[in-house]
Structure 1
Amino acid sequence: MKKSAEIRQELSGLVSSQQAMADLLKTENRSAFNESEQKKWDDLQKEIEERKKSLKAAEEYEENQRSFGIQPNATSVKDDNGEGEGNGQAPARRFSIHRAIRSQIGGTNILEGVELDVHTRTSEMAKRAGIAVQGICIPLFDTRSVQTETRADGQTVTQDAGGYGANLVPTEIQPVIDALRPKPVVEKLGAVFLTGLQGNLKFPVNNGGIQAFWEGEVDTVDSSKNAYGSKEMKPNRLSCEVLISLQNLQQSSNDLENYTMNDIASIVANAIDLAAINGSGSGQPLGILNVSGTNSVAGGANGAAPTFANMVALETGVFVENANNAKLNYVSNAKVRGKLKTTEIATGYPSFVMSTDGSVNGYPFETSNHVPSNLTKGTSTGVCSAAVFGDFSQVVVGQWGFMDITVDNISRKKDGYIAIIVNVFVDVLVKQPKAFSVIKDLLTA
């Protein structure tokens, strides 16, 4: 079965082909395709529908793998006898992130087997994107209590410092307790993810201009024409450092390898989500809250508690701009969520702004603490929250299809750590800012 990322890339190519055909119609001022073009369009649409079904199946399969602690679609190669898994022979050898990392220790920098194969294929992708790879290139994505020195009554565990029983109890190391991080939401809300990109992307923008006029029977109609602009996506480097103990690296169980990769993937996914929502545009993508041209709603000179009227105003801004054709959503932080659940629509009215099903005025509401709660409005310093309402299909997240992993086994060697430096290349584009309404001065205290 193909990976979901591969199917998404194929889907992106098919949709791009349809877009090129639609653009050709506009360029040639035609209102319809000819017979051969229509057939090609229909064939493309049929392939798109088939890929969508395949994508759904692949995503469900990968989710099943994750639920049982299996790294989805792990790369495998045949063994020395040319045989693989599922045929009664020796199991196929899978890609090992720990084995790849160990190959970079000691100055040898020699990759072998499946790790070399994955690196070679992915670095070719990086080369086509014009990005130099620095390291390994792979595809995207005990607490002890202190006891007092008292003699135990017998061979107990807890009545002494260990000399009469506790030393006989083995210590079993359990899975690592994950850090609490915000849950990425922009993909769930409908953002479009383009993966496997190889060069900068340019999107023509139709800024409008064509008009229709009521004229007399033989009056001359005035000419009008569309104005066009463009928006560009290009890779921004997203980097993080992950420390792995030497012991962890040597004891390469599947669980430990999955934990290493899942932790890296979680950090990267959260950083992309934060950029899409609140990216500053300075050395990083520009997010919804900071892009110019969104519909702005204000609570008050010094901020104000969220009200039903605020929410309706957010919706109205989007509808006025005719951006109400797709699935619309709210997103804000946990503080705003809590306030909306306890704010009545009208005093004495037995209904709250956020319904019991978690929706606001009939629209889904997603919670993400990537939406800031430390903004300033007037005298309300560092206590204001933001909220967004809009069509998240207008957000495009571009991923330049690979992860560059560099191994530093020197700087933390005395501490028993290997430093893993991860670089990925991402950009975010808000295609139509008017598809979003933003408020930045909600008080939740």
Structure 2
Amino acid sequence: MKLNALREQRSTKVASMKALVDKAATESRDLSADEIKQFDSLKVEERTLASQIERAEYMSDIERRAAGEPVSGAPASDLDKLAGSVLTIKVIQAQMNGTPLDGAEAEYAKEAERRSGRKAEGAFIPFKNLERRANTTTTASDLVGVDHRATDYIGPLRESLVARSLGVRVLSGLVGNVSIPKYGNGLETGWVTEGQAVPEGVMGFDSVTLTPRHVGGKTEMSRQLIQQSAPGIEQLVREDLSFLIAKQIDRAIINGSGLLGEPLGILNTAGIQTAEMPDTWLEVLAMLEKLDDVEIANGRWLTTAAIRTLLAGTEKVVGSGSGFLYQGGSLADLPLVTSKNVPAKKLILGDFSQVLLGVWSEVDILVNPFAEPAYSRGGVQVRAMATLDTAVRHAQGFVVATGA
């Protein structure tokens, strides 16, 4: 049987045992004779599966050594499948109750530690697990019980996180500092007559570097929310934690200063092309021309809602009925999106695949049930941290317009 299938079976057995114990605890009683029999049977099966997993992992390591591959745990494909089974809420509950992780959560955390080469302060969860937000049972009371509607949860208004959706390249599984060779200048070429020497040039190279930088934040969650809510709360807890991390990553990609541990963003990268804020069709085309001149064809626009409004109210040619600069979701037939993370009076045109996002650490979740003021309110404090950096491969791939 495949390793991943064994892991899934073991996780199912563990979940079944937990369901029996939780049911008895909810009804304030001990396990019945039939339930004890079921529990003991599941325990034997879980231990058998654990032994099979250990043997399968050992054989997998041997096979990779024989093939000359690095032995660093489960293959990437298996780790990705395992990541899909990890529940953030189970990691938080285990830390809050002082119990060890089990199932997919334990296996993923162990593998992530092995791959990153460091011990998590709390427990690692998949970086891509963080997607949405949650709060407390006071603001999400319908989540406690059977008939809840997690998908209808109404959260607070907040800025859009868009930089990564524009095509930023993500480099995961990094260990040391990263230096990526970058083409500088190349050979000289030209036409020559018979017997004449061809032009001589020297190839030059540069590099793009990525250095681990740490980002994190804390949030408070009610104990009741974490302990009593139905499984749909998982999506909401992810959202609460993700916003702590994603907002900072988004802002760093766009406008990071490069100082005090912060990554260097697009707007502060040396060599970015500049322009005046366009208010005519010809000035828009002039910005596009700047990208064409450096062989960049995959351009997209990023700006503020205020600038988008101005562009949407400006005719291409005044009084001609030729349409407006921004209409139908695009400017000059290229997609335009807005974000509050873009500074005022800035319009960015560029190929966002020129941005690298290097990830050294999975998101590290640490629960502190004794931190004030959460402790006094019966809640728990949850801290999320990640280690990453950003860099722009070719600064000429961006044109930034500034003005009123």
Same fold by TM-score greater than 0.5: yes
Question: What is the alpha-carbon distance in structure 1 between the residues aligned to residue 304 and residue 9 of structure 2?
Answer: 38
Question: What is the alpha-carbon distance in structure 1 between the residues aligned to residue 10 and residue 274 of structure 2?
Answer: 51
Aligned pairs for 1:45-124 within 5 A: 77-79=11-13, 80=42, 81=45, 95-105=86-96, 108=98, 110-124=100-114
Q: Which residue of 2 aligns with 1:51?
A: none
Which of 311, 314, 332 does residue 284 from structure 2 map onto? 311
Greater mean deviation of Cα atoms: 390-399 or 263-272: 263-272
Shift of 1:395: 1.4
Q: Which residue of 1 aligns with 2:213?
A: 236
Question: What is the alpha-carbon distance in structure 2 between the residues aligned to residue 134 and residue 96 of structure 1?
Answer: 18
Q: Is the 8 A contact 1:195 1:398 kept in 2?
A: yes
Q: Is the 8 A contact 2:163 2:253 kept in 1?
A: yes
**Counterpart code for 2:107:** D
Identical positions, percent: 27
SS of residue paired to 1:343? coil
**Cα deviations by residue, 1:258-309 (Å, 9 ceiling, x for unpaired):** 210132224423322222111111222211111110111134xxxxx74434
1:430 aligns with 2:395: no
**Counterpart code for 1:308:** W
Q: Is the 8 A contact 1:202 1:231 kept in 2?
A: yes
Shift of 1:437: 0.4
Shift of 1:343: 0.8
Higher helix share: 2
1:340 aligns with 2:311: yes
Shift of 1:435: 0.8
Which of 386, 396, 407 does residue 356 from structure 2 map onto? 396
Question: What is the alpha-carbon distance in structure 2 between the residues aligned to residue 226 and residue 418 of structure 1?
Answer: 58
Which of 157, 160, 164 does residue 183 from structure 1 map onto? 160
Question: What is the alpha-carbon distance in structure 2 between the residues aligned to residue 117 and residue 186 of structure 1?
Answer: 31
SS of residue paired to 2:215? strand
SS of residue paired to 1:289? helix
Question: What is the alpha-carbon distance in structure 1 between the residues aligned to residue 192 and residue 86 of structure 2?
Answer: 70
**Counterpart code for 2:285:** V
Shift of 1:231: 1.1
Question: What is the alpha-carbon distance in structure 2 between the residues aligned to residue 428 and residue 238 of structure 1?
Answer: 12
**Cα deviations by residue, 1:22-77 (Å, 9 ceiling, x for unpaired):** xxxxxxxxxxxxxxxxxxxxxxxxxxxxxxxxxxxxxxxxxxxxxxxxxxxx9982
Note closer, same or farther for the CA distance 1:252–1:437 as it changes in structure 2 (3 Å cut).
same
Q: Is the 8 A contact 2:299 2:351 kept in 1?
A: yes
**Cα deviations by residue, 1:294-330 (Å, 9 ceiling, x for unpaired):** 111134xxxxx74434322321221222223xx2111
**Cα deviations by residue, 1:311-359 (Å, 9 ceiling, x for unpaired):** 22321221222223xx211111111111111111222121344343221
Greater mean deviation of Cα atoms: 190-199 or 432-441: 190-199
Q: Which residue of 2 aligns with 1:415?
A: 377
Note closer, same or farther for the CA distance 1:226–1:95 as it changes in structure 2 (3 Å cut).
closer
**Cα deviations by residue, 1:340-383 (Å, 9 ceiling, x for unpaired):** 1111122212134434322112222122222111xxxxxxxxxx
Shift of 1:95: 4.2
Shift of 1:115: 3.0
Note closer, same or farther for the CA distance 1:190–1:76 as it changes in structure 2 (3 Å cut).
farther
**Counterpart code for 1:418:** V
Q: Which residue of 2 aligns with 1:290?
A: 268
SS of residue paired to 2:250? helix
Shift of 1:212: 1.1
**Cα deviations by residue, 1:170-206 (Å, 9 ceiling, x for unpaired):** xx98754212233332333222222233333221011
Note closer, same or farther for the CA distance 1:391–1:95 as it changes in structure 2 (3 Å cut).
closer
Tell me how many residue pairs correspond in the alignment. 310
**Counterpart code for 1:101:** I
TM-score, normalised via structure 2 length: 0.69
Greater mean deviation of Cα atoms: 289-298 or 94-103: 94-103
SS of residue paired to 1:414? coil
Q: Which runs of 5+ in 1 are unaligned?
A: 1-73, 85-93, 144-171, 300-304, 374-384
Question: What is the alpha-carbon distance in structure 2 between the residues aligned to residue 184 and residue 76 of structure 1?
Answer: 37
Return structure 1 stretches of 4+ with deviation > 6 angstroms: none
**Counterpart code for 1:420:** V
Shift of 1:254: 1.0
Q: CA RMSD in A?
A: 2.7
Question: What is the alpha-carbon distance in structure 2 between the residues aligned to residue 214 and residue 271 of structure 1?
Answer: 52
Note closer, same or farther for the CA distance 1:284–1:353 as it changes in structure 2 (3 Å cut).
farther
Q: Which runs of 5+ in 2 are unaligned?
A: 1-7, 14-41, 50-84, 130-137, 140-146
